[in-house]
Structure 1
Amino acid sequence: MKVMRNIAALSLLAVALPVGAQDKQTAVANFVGKDGKEDGRAQLTAAANGGVLIEVEISGLPVNKWVAFHVHETGRCDAATHHESAGGHFNPEKAEHGILAAKGPHAGDMPNQYVGQDGLLRAQIFDSMVTLDGKTDGIRGRALMVHANSDDYRSQPSGDAGERLSCGVIQ
């Protein structure tokens, strides 16, 4: 019930804000696959009490598989470098990687996401450890990344998530 109220509050927030203020409360990320072609999009919305809701849809991913989904530190998605240009995971607190790590998680950690039979990842993910435009926890200008494997939530520094499949700069 609380989630429904929060979603309703986010909808009201978007309607109630003046036009200029809405731009600061939302962001988008257009995803690019390993081949350099667009393969998805995310809509990000700042929550009134902190955190960011990420609504994402990405196509052309491995079917029937759990994949890792993270925030990366650099807002570059260069397919020629297999998205290595996005740097490591966003980790302003210098915490360990993973929700199961003793000194984790860090801000870029998010739960694994499931890709269905159609190769499409559709999800709504809430990251309570980030903001869109905060001084140290802001993610606008950084990248969202889908990896080939699921995150084991323990291995350092990236959860043994594997190859970078799709990347989107948060704008």
Structure 2
Amino acid sequence: MAKKNSKSKNNDNTIARNKRASHDFHLEERFEAGLSLQGWEVKSLRAGKANIADSYIFLKDGEAWLLGATFPPLIAASTHVVCDPMRYRKLLLKKREIEALVGKVERQGYSIIPVSLYWKKAWVKLSFALAKGKQAHDKRSDIKDREWKVQKERMMKHDTRKS
């Protein structure tokens, strides 16, 4: 058999993104964690069925848990396993990382928001961030900055065509 061409490989390993995270929160510090999953959940993720838009992470008893993430089961998944698409999923973090998160959440008032879910080799990883909520005026200034960038690019593109 011939080897597969490595250039034809798709580099986008993202399963799901939380697009509202950067809109609703100031994302400060990012982390990466593994997830403790069941077999039917992995099958569902391989099919690209996941939603982390309304999810959040909470810390309890020295462990981190993902809540609100939805991994809908496939129809062809096992018939003898009860599939709960909204179950709590444990994040696989080191004890020192969890202690640092607990300190920031309890003392400094941060929230822990999932940003993206992706494949890293054969493992499912969750990227999350320490975040603080944005006020309405913060969102308006972000929109204004984004629109100015687009307008500036159009003006630069227009100027290069005249020359």
TM-score (norm 2): 0.26
- Larger radius of gyration between Structure 1 and Structure 2: 2
